[in-house]
Structure 1
Amino acid sequence: MKKEYDYLIVGSGLFGSVFAHEATKIGKKCLVIDKRNHSGGNIHCENIEGINVHKYGPHIFHTNDKKIWDYVNQFADFNHFVYSPLSFSKGKLYNLPFNMNTFYQLWGTKTPEEAKAKIEEQVAIYGFEKPKNLEEQALSIVGKDIYEQFIKEYTEKQWGRKATDLPAFIIKRIPIRFTFDNNYFNDKYQGIPIGGYNKIIENLLKNVEVKLSTNYFENKEFFENIATKIVFTGKIDEYFDYQYGKLEYRSLRFESEILETENFQGNAGINYNDSEFGYTRIVEHKHFEFGNQKKTVITKEYPENWTSEKEAYYPINDEKNQEIYLNYKKLSENLNHVIFGGRLAEYRYYDMHQVIASALHKSKIELQND
């Protein structure tokens, strides 16, 4: 018997919305459900005082892939925002990513040769031939000054563990530029959708049935039976009822304030390295869209230990968790009627352009074979 929907899509973030759009385009009937009271997943924006506030942390779209850039530009016009964050450390402001401006602020070096020599000298003294943890890895790449000034305390706050207890692979490489260039991303295409990310999601889901405040797991049997196939973008371990144990994440807490000033910090993002600050950065949202509103909205971002009641942001892809994930992945490969996709279902950190590419790839394979 033909079911009511061709695809039930669990989660209205980028993966689910792109898949739903592509399927609907060729005449498939889709239902998108989301347990939150809004669509868009973590790219959702909330309009406060005329400012698009990135509710779940700042999102800057960047890619080198022209096909992906052209794809998102169908759904919104983008501005020319370039992310150039600052770092507040030991009472001073420094440019990021690590570049000639940073080295001049730190050491007074004026040429690439001077900066390279300084780093090489410190790596020779403090580096390790076979780094066993994050601290040793960082010392082996950038030396003592950059590690202690910018990496150690920030990373320990971010992960809630000592740098000596974190695996070296977390920072396989540290981007260093020997040019005076504060553009955080190297990608050719970069910007923020004019009017916020909600426009992209609204246009992706324009012709799709969507039900919000709807938890798949509260009525799983019903939802399993209304569609021929399911696209699942939630936590893969939850789908399989945690039978191999729970995968671990780091979580975040956001504290936002409306301030009676036009410009609080003059920049979209400033990192706070020192451990005396509980937060890792302050985001001032109006700068993403070059706003001139009379007030401003800032958000302090606090890393937290994750529990199942909190939002899962960063997968902890260590050996133990990867082993658990691979067990779930094997189970997922045996389910022909379920497509798993996105950050939580694939237990990996995705940038926005990567999750769109993944959704387009999986939808193409699925819809061609249908």
Structure 2
Amino acid sequence: MQAAPYILIVGAGFAGSVVARELADAGRHVHVIDKRPHIAGNAYDELDTHGILVHRYGPHIFHTSGERIFEYLSRFTEWRPYEHRVRGIVGGKSYPFPINRDTLNQLYGLDLDEAGAAAFFEQVREPRDPVLSSEDVVLNSVGRDLYEKFFLNYTRKQWGLDPSRLKAGVAARIPVRTNTDDRYFTDTFQAMPLHGYTKMFESMLDHPNISVELGVDFADVRVNIKASHIVYTGPIDAYFNHCHGHLPYRSLRFEHEHLPNVEQYQETGTINYPNDHAYTRITEFKHLTGQKHKGTSIVREYPQAEGDPYYPVPRAENEALFKRYEDLSMKESNVTFVGRLAQYRYYNMDQVVGAALAAAKRLTG
């Protein structure tokens, strides 16, 4: 550990690394620890044994409409333009997802124009008022048949819960379109770090005021910390030793596979399997990176309850439990809590960067 005064940052993912760089640029001495043997958090990527760049913790597709966020990260990486596309397998056939006009025409054998697609949705939707759950969101938008074909079983696999038991915001993240735009995201800036996320993080943490120590669990060293301030990006309930009980998080198991002499395994970067198999989706990394290779590498995602925390589970009772921990965090004047796990929010990457920049500004202000 460094000699005081220094600021300790727990976690070398987006939240921790952005705060570290901002504080270092402001002249503060920063020590970053992470219990994993690498930086970049869940965005960590590396060459697999076959030389293909893969995301170890599932696909991370960068997209934002925040010019400030994109320009900030552009200090640490060049970009490869990339617009993510997803297909959903229903009844053994592949359809554009999120649902758009082409999905309707292909699924139902129709020939709808944009106005016809809007009229179709209006005819099949089941109005819900108030809209409280994810089930309400989807039924209110596209009706029961599309709900059951594309959303119901996928959600059950992903969250281990029926959509009726999840807050509306989960499904509200997925648009429904009357046009033929088959991009998964419509943000202004859509790109992948040209040389990968890990290289971007290496650049971000490359500063004389930043030291990094990996393979260090905060729980093992917290009694010996002499830092003037702590920036904590781990699960907030773990910081307080789960004194109010465990906050529910959803985890994932990743099954990586290399396919030799297969140049392209699937038509788009990600294919969803809402109704078949124990996994939710398969991602082929060469779509994301543009890498040329005679083989290809894919990953299957299996949601599970146990394991590293990835997603806060958005339910009202979980939010109430988080508020109890948040009240405790307000009394920790020398600790800043920031990030998806520390703030128990279903942040996208750009939202984490925004939250981290805001936190750093408060600390340096």
Which TM class, normalised by the smaller chain length?
A: over 0.9
Deviations 1:132-156 (A, max 9, x none): 6543442222112211221111111
CA distance in 2, matches of 1:197, 1:75: 10
CA distance in 2, matches of 1:93, 1:159: 23
Matching residue of 1:350: 347
Amino acid corresponding to residue 114 of structure 1 in structure 2: G
Matching residue of 1:104: 105
Matching residue of 2:51: 50
SS of match in other structure, 2:309:
coil
SS of match in other structure, 2:221:
helix
- Deviation of the 1:47 alpha carbon: 0.8
- Deviation of the 1:26 alpha carbon: 2.1
Deviations 1:227-266 (A, max 9, x none): 1111111111111111111100111110000111111113
Matching residue of 1:262: 263
Matching residue of 1:179: 179
Higher mean C-alpha deviation, range 214-223 or range 8-17: 214-223
> 1:109–1:115: 8 Å Cα contact kept in structure 2?
no
Matching residue of 1:13: 13
- Deviation of the 1:357 alpha carbon: 0.9
CA distance in 2, matches of 1:43, 1:362: 20
CA distance in 2, matches of 1:132, 1:353: 26
CA distance in 2, matches of 1:137, 1:81: 29
Out of 324, 327, 334, the residue aligned to residue 327 of structure 1 is: 324
- Aligned pair 1:61/2:58, yes or no? no
Matching residue of 1:288: 288
Matching residue of 2:146: 146
Deviations 1:297-318 (A, max 9, x none): 1100011113xxx111110121
Out of 323, 334, 338, the residue aligned to residue 335 of structure 2 is: 338
Amino acid corresponding to residue 13 of structure 1 in structure 2: G
CA distance in 2, matches of 1:146, 1:173: 16
CA distance in 2, matches of 1:300, 1:100: 28
Distance 1:172 1:287, change over 3 A: closer
Matching residue of 2:82: 81
Distance 1:57 1:233, change over 3 A: same
- Aligned pair 1:363/2:326, yes or no? no
Please report the TM-score for the alignment, with normalisation by the length of structure 1: 0.93
- Deviation of the 1:105 alpha carbon: 1.3
SS of match in other structure, 1:79:
strand
> 1:18–1:356: 8 Å Cα contact kept in structure 2?
yes
Amino acid corresponding to residue 336 of structure 2 in structure 1: I
Amino acid corresponding to residue 117 of structure 1 in structure 2: A
CA distance in 2, matches of 1:266, 1:24: 43
- Aligned pair 1:93/2:130, yes or no? no
Gaps of 5+ in 1: none
- Deviation of the 1:118 alpha carbon: 1.9
CA distance in 2, matches of 1:4, 1:145: 61
CA distance in 2, matches of 1:51, 1:301: 18
Out of 218, 222, 229, the residue aligned to residue 216 of structure 1 is: 218
Distance 1:185 1:219, change over 3 A: same
Number of residue equivalences: 359
Q: What RMSD, in angstroms, separates the aligned Cα atoms of the two structures?
A: 1.7
> 1:134–1:164: 8 Å Cα contact kept in structure 2?
yes
Distance 1:110 1:312, change over 3 A: same
SS of match in other structure, 2:103:
helix
> 1:141–1:174: 8 Å Cα contact kept in structure 2?
no
CA distance in 2, matches of 1:162, 1:6: 46
SS of match in other structure, 2:82:
coil
Matching residue of 2:312: 315
- Deviation of the 1:269 alpha carbon: 0.6
